[in-house]
Amino acid sequence: MVSPVLVAPSILSGDFTRLGEELRIIESSGADWLHLDVMDGHFVPNLTFGPAIISQLRRKSKIPFDVHLMIENPQDWLKAYREAGADRLTIHIEACRHVQRQLMLIRELGAAPGVCLNPQTPLAGLEYLLADCDHVLIMTVNPGFGGQSLLESVLPKITLLRQMIDGMRLRTLIEVDGGVDSENSQRILAAGADVLVMGSAFFRDKNKQALVSFIHGMATPRKRGKRNAGRPEKPA
Ligand code: DX5
Ligand code: ZN
């Protein structure tokens, strides 16, 4: 089965003085999701925005909001980000002690749950969480900043995860974040990715529509999985 590739531009690389306009540019490019990087200055050495800004953006757009929480104690914030308008909520496995409980909470709140793994974090233990994850976000840079180079050493982890998901006959999506551009996309997709986050490469491209169409034209070969636990037929 050949599945469509999804593109999720990260507004982190946009101009924060004109976020509404950047949002419209992302929507009109034909992108699938808006990726929102929330940083707390503790889990990562940088700060971005919180629920107030996300809820203001939410009023301006219908595009699915893919919220990447790079924060300590994400369990304390899930409700606030869901109420702000997150359609997908991703928590870092390194930031949370009872990950499965939080995945259930995200599902109960009505959003699509996902976990994120930093570059050095192994897949060990993920097999026990995968059925509760609508997506797994694989970091291909150390999180905290846009504009870094892809860590090629992480690509084999994507392939191993693809095998794990296909072997378990699940539909969990593999999302890849960090240093993704039009040159390395095919390699990342060949490794097994379904969703590509793009920050700096998206915003520096003059023809964003052509960029998104180019990525959409690529394919990721994957097996048909069964329905994940509680996963809606048509996830955001
Ligand atoms: C990094 C963020 C990424 C970032 C990607 O901490 O999680 O989403 O915005 O930006 P690029 O594509 O420039 O690496
Ligand atoms: Zn991100």
Give the domain extent around 177.
2-221
Q: What is the DSSP secondary-structure string of 169-210? A: T--PEEEEESS--TTTHHHHHHHT-SEEEESHHHHH-S-HHH
- Please give the pLDDT value at position 131: 97
Classify residue 231 by its DSSP letter. Answer: -
Nearest CA-CA partner of 88 in 227, 232, 194 = 232
pTM of the model: 0.94
Is residue 230 situated within a structural domain? no
Model pLDDT, residue 234: 46
Looking at residue 69, its pLDDT comes to 99
CB distance 222 to 166 below 8 Å: yes
Relative to the CA of 10, which ligand 1 atom is closest?
A: 9
Kindly give the interhelix angle for 208-216 and 19-28, rounded to the nearest 10 degrees.
50
**Which atom from ligand 1 is nearest to the alpha carbon of 39?**
6
Chunk the chain into consecutive blocks of 10 residues (it has 236) and report each block's average pLDDT, rounded to whole numbers.
84 98 98 98 98 98 98 98 98 97 98 98 98 98 98 98 97 98 97 98 98 91 56 46
Q: Is 37 a catalytic residue?
A: yes
**Closest atom, ligand 1, to C-alpha of 44:** 6
What is the C-alpha separation between 134 and 227, in angstroms, rounded? 10
CA dist., res. 184 & res. 104, Å (int) = 34
How many other C-beta atoms lie within 10 A of the C-beta of residue 2?
8
pLDDT for 219 equals 73
Residue 137: nearest ligand to its CA? 2
Any catalytic annotation for residue 66?
A: no
Is residue 10, in this structure, part of any structural domain at all?
yes
**Active-site pick, 32, 66, 132, 177:** 177
Identity of the residue numbered 197: V
CATH number for the domain including 46? Answer: 3.20.20.70
Distance 182 CA to ligand 2 centre (A): 17
What pLDDT score does 120 carry? 98
Q: Is 151 exposed, middle or buried (0-12, 13-18, 19+ CB in 10 A)?
A: middle
pLDDT in tens, 61-117: 999 999 999 999 999 999 999 999 999 999 999 999 999 999 999 999 999 999 999
Identify whether 126 is part of a domain.
yes
User: What is the tally of structural domains in the chain?
Assistant: 1
The Cα 135–Cα 175 span in angstroms is: 7
Q: Is residue 228 part of a domain?
A: no
Give domain status of residue 100, yes or no.
yes
- For residue 114, the SS3 value is strand
181 Cα to the center of ligand 2, angstroms: 14
**DSSP result, 137-163:** EEESS-TT-SSPPP-GGGHHHHHHHHH
80-96 as b/e: b if 16+ CB within 10 A: ebbebbbbbbbbbbbbb
pLDDT at residue 220, as a whole number: 65
Indicate whether 229 belongs to any domain: no
